Amino acid sequence: MNDRVLKLVTGNRLRDGAVVYFAGVGTWTRRIDDARLVEDADGAALLAEAQAGPPPHPAVGPVLIEAVRESDRILPVTLRERIRAFGPTVTYRSH
């Protein structure tokens, strides 16, 4: 398994706050598996690329986070980012 720690950019979509990931070429995706993943050294450049573009920027507060590639999936390193990627860990009974 490749457990090198890599970097990707995440933010919240402007219009609805949904968690989004920078997929490169000015696009943002809801699916973390489609995020553009780079080596640690290339993180700053990726962030700059993600932040570029005329307003309205589609994502609020883009930041670099750590992630690993696990076969065909991308997994964030921190619990917080896993919760952002995969949703609250709480189960609900609706009524």
Q: Which residues bind other proteins (CB under 8 A)?
A: 12, 14-19, 54-57, 60-61, 77-80, 83-84, 87-95
Phi first, then psi: give them for residue 28, nearest 5 degrees.
Answer: -125, 140
Q: For 62, which DSSP code?
A: E
Other Cβ atoms closer than 10 A to 13: 14
- CA distances from residue 88 to 37, 44, 45, 81, 83 in whole angstroms, order as listed: 24, 29, 31, 11, 6
Q: State which residue, 42 or 75, has the beta carbon closest to other proteins.
A: 75
Task: Quote the least distance from Cβ 89 to other proteins, whole Å.
Answer: 6
Q: State which residue, 17 or 39, has the beta carbon closest to other proteins.
A: 17
Task: Quote the least distance from Cβ 1 to other proteins, whole Å.
Answer: 18
Task: Quote the least distance from Cβ 91 to other proteins, whole Å.
Answer: 8
